[in-house]
Amino acid sequence: MRVDFNINDADLRGSKREFTRNNIHPRILAVLPTIKFLIKRGTKVVILSHRGRPTTIKSSKFKVKNYKQSSLKPFGKILSSLLKKRVNFVNLDALSLINRTKEKIRGSITGSVFLLENLRFLPGEDKNDKKFAKQLASLATFYVNDAFSVSHRKNASVVAITKFLPSYAGLLLEKEIKNLSRIMKNPKKLLVIILGGAKVSDKIGVIKNFLKEVKGQKSKINCFLTGGGVANTFFAAQGLPVGKSLYEKEMIPAARQLLKSRKIILPVDAVRKDKKILDIGPKTAEKYSQIIKKAGTIIWNGPMGYIEDPKFTKGSKAITEAILKSRAFAIVGGGETTSIISNFQFPISKKNIFISTGGGAMLEYLAGKKLPGLEALK
Ligand code: ADP
Ligand code: MG
């Protein structure tokens, strides 16, 4: 079963130092129903995930430089306490000795749960390597994808593995698709897309797709509200000095092209420190809130500012408040975006917000792109 445990240490612990039952990350809670479903029906579950971008040290085969931040070991403990049963953690050495792991699984009792170490510790995962996928597949009799948020990536445990096993969608994946497709089939008028955050190239690509989608037909998209690194890249494309702010230089030509569309709205003021733009300013927050007020459907991915510092969360907070006050239906996705809105501790009414576990995957899906992980299941 492929899940997405790509959660950094700070997010994993929340505001507290320790892991407690009350601060379990939503991404972990989200896959519990499928794990429990499988256990109940008498299977053994082998859980697969990646975490972060580990850099392996070439000289020694299995040494990873940023081991602590990228190991999945802590997740074994968390899962174990949530499932109230032992979770067998299979570290990398054991994974390399795939046969031994196979025997261990075979010898275990029904309902046993295994968690494999970060798949990115091995080179095959990112490369969608068939041999590696076949090795992983040899551990099981069927495959379940419950990682919607990585289904836009051509990875061995998402795509290639489906060539070797009967493959199914997990309950979380199903829920995501049901909700997202329902909304997109019939978006209420005035669709507003809010884009901030860091992965600028992903988002610029998505804007292009959204604009293409609506070409010819009556345009469904009212506007794109920008913040974070996305807005900074547009500023740079306009030739404005962005100093040391977060932006993507390579995306400037694409951003320049997109600026021809009047639908892209840029911040009108900013919060700065040390020659960096770190949040949208109060005037922008007010302007965006007014637009959100009139929206029918909202899609949001990417925080408005450098949210790791509480001083720069005001923009994202204003957006969250505006959404909650509006009558619009909102889809909010992305690791940092969903964690910051839950940190604000507003009473989020499930009625007008769907929290998606996907960031990039959610945007690509909504823009009408085919996701390799989903195609593979067909
Ligand atoms: P998500 O995880 O929700 O998909 P991203 O990963 O694209 O969002 O971006 C989240 C990151 O963007 C956060 O770590 C945040 O600090 C960073 N960020 C947003 N705006 C700024 C900014 N103005 N300057 C620096 N970092 C920013
Ligand atoms: Mg992120």
pTM: 0.87
Chain position carrying tokens 């990417």: 302
Chain position carrying tokens 């809105």: 341
225: β partners: 194, 265
**Intra-chain end-to-end CA distance of the chain, in Å:** 17
Report the nearest atom of ligand 1 relative to the CA of 359.
Answer: 4
Q: What's the 130 CA to ligand 1 centre distance in angstroms?
A: 33
Residue to substitute in 11, 207, 248, 307 for testing ligand 1 pocket (most ligand atoms within 8 angstroms of CB): 307
State residue 94's pLDDT score.
60
State residue 210's pLDDT score.
81
Token pair recorded at residue 343: 């940190």
Which segments of the chain does DSSP mark as H helices, in order? 9-13, 26-40, 67-70, 73-83, 92-96, 98-107, 130-137, 171-185, 200-214, 228-237, 252-258, 282-293, 314-325, 335-343, 360-366, 372-377
Active site residues: 27, 199, 335, 360
Q: What's the 198 CA to ligand 1 centre distance in angstroms?
A: 4
Give me the numbers of helices (H) and strands (E) for the chain, helices first please: 16, 13
> Where residue 75 falls among pLDDT bands split at 50, 70, 90?
very high
Angle between helices 73-83 and 26-40 (to 10 degrees): 60
> Strands 221-226 and 264-265, how do they pair?
parallel
- 17, pLDDT greater than 90: no
Residue pLDDT, tens place only, 228-249: 999 999 999 999 999 999 999 9
Residue pLDDT, tens place only, 130-177: 999 999 999 999 999 999 999 999 999 999 999 999 999 999 999 999
CA distance 307 to 269: 17
